[in-house]
Amino acid sequence: MTTPTLDSSTVACDDSDVYRTLLESTRAIPWRIDWATMRFTYIGPQIEELLGWKQSSWLSVNDWAERILEEDRKKTVDFCVAQSQMGLDHEADYRALTADGEQLWIRDVVHVVRRQDGSVESLVGFMFDITERKQAEDKILQLQRELEVLTYRDSLTGVANRRMFDTLYAIEWAKARATGEPLSLIVIDIDYFKQYNDHYGHMQGDDCLRRVAQAMDEGASRSRDLCARLGGEEFVLLLPATDEGAARNVAERCRKLLARKEIEHARSGVGRLVTVSMGVGTILPSALVDPHVFLDRIDRRLYQAKSGGRDRICDVES
C-alpha cells in the first residue's frame, strides 16, 4: 500500500487557506499595504460589518486616511508614516467614520516588513474595535474629574473648601511675589451663629450657611477670586491683584448682598437679620513674609471686629 504524498505547492496552498480562514474568523481585521504603491493588497471582509465600507472599496492608504475623523486624521497619519519610514512597529488609536456617519474607536497594530537591506517592503497589521474600552475609559476619567471637584468643594455650601483655599492661596502668593501685585484676604464669620442654630435648628442652620456662602461668592465676582469655607461658620475670600481700597469695597459689597437676602435672626445681638463680621488685609508678598503669618493677621482682625460689636469690617490692627 502506498502512502499519498503532497507536493510543497499543495501544502503552501492549503496553509494559505487555513491562515486566511483563521484570520477572517476573528473580530480583529487583518490587512496588508504594499509600501511602494501605498495600496491595500488585502483587508479582511470583517471590515464591512464593522465600518460599513465594502471590502472592495479599500484600495489605497488614501481610503484609510479619509475614513479617519478629521480631528484625528493628521496626527494619526503623520505618526504612522513617520514610524513606518523608520521601520518601527507601532500602534495608533483613532476615531474612524462608518459608512453611515457614525464614529468608532479603532486601534491599528502595525508591523513593518523589511527587506534584507533594511528597506520597507510592506505594512501588515490588525484593526481592533476598541470603542467600548474607550467609552469605559472616558467614563472613568469623567468620574475622576467629578471626584476632584468634590475633593475641593464644600459639600454643604457648594463653595470651595479649606483644601482648595490652601492650594490656591499658595499659588496666588507665588504669582503675586513674581508680579509685584497686591494680594488681599477677607476672613468672614457669621455673627451669633450658635444662637441661630439653637433657635432655628440645624437644618435651617445649614440653609443659612448656604445662603451666606452664596452672598460671599457673589461678592467675589472676578474669575480669579475665590470664596471658600474654612470650617463651621467661617469663610474666606482670596482676592488676587486687589489693593486695600478694592478689598474694602468687596467686603462692603458682600455685606450688602447678605443684607438683601434678609435672613431672619431672632437671637442676634446686633439686629433682626443674619450679619457677618470681617477681617480684611492686603499685602505685597515677599520672601520676608510667611503666608500663614499673614492669614493669622487677618484672622486677628476678624476677632477685633467681633469683639468690637460685630456686624462690621476691621481692616487695621489696634
Residues contacting residue 309 through CB under 8 Å, at least 6 positions apart:
270
Instruction: Report the C-alpha gap between 41 and 54 in whole angstroms.
Output: 15
Is residue 212 a contact partner of residue 196, using CB atoms and an 8 Å limit? no
Is residue 95 a contact partner of residue 74, using CB atoms and an 8 Å limit? no
pLDDT on residue 185: 98
Instruction: Report the C-alpha gap between 155 and 14 in whole angstroms.
Output: 68
pLDDT on residue 18: 47
Is residue 230 a contact partner of residue 309, using CB atoms and an 8 Å limit? no
pLDDT on residue 318: 65
3-state secondary structure of 314: strand
Instruction: Give me the residue spans of the domains in the chain.
Output: 14-135, 154-314
User: 192 — alpha (psi -120 to 50), left (phi > 0) or beta?
Assistant: left
Instruction: Report the C-alpha gap between 300 and 305 in whole angstroms.
Output: 9
Q: What is the set of active-site residues?
A: 233
Q: How many CB atoms lie within 10 A of CB 191?
A: 23
pLDDT on residue 317: 76
pLDDT on residue 27: 75
Q: How many CB atoms lie within 10 A of CB 197?
A: 18
Residues contacting residue 53 through CB under 8 Å, at least 6 positions apart:
47, 63, 67, 98, 99
Superfamily classification of domain 14-135: PAS domain (3.30.450.20)
pLDDT on residue 13: 45
pLDDT on residue 8: 41
In the CATH scheme, what architecture does the domain 154-314 have?
A: 2-Layer Sandwich (3.30)
pLDDT on residue 136: 86
Total residue count of the chain as it appears in this document: 318
Is residue 211 a contact partner of residue 263, using CB atoms and an 8 Å limit? yes
pLDDT on residue 14: 54
Instruction: Report the C-alpha gap between 19 and 252 in whole angstroms.
Output: 80
Point out the residues of the chain with pLDDT beneath 50: 1-13, 18-19
Instruction: Say whether pTM exceeds 0.85.
Output: no
Instruction: Report the C-alpha gap between 282 and 287 in whole angstroms.
Output: 16
Q: Which of 30, 55, 46 is nearest to 124 (CA)?
A: 30
pLDDT tens, 104-153?
999 999 999 999 988 999 999 999 999 998 888 888 788 777 777 678 89
pLDDT on residue 23: 53
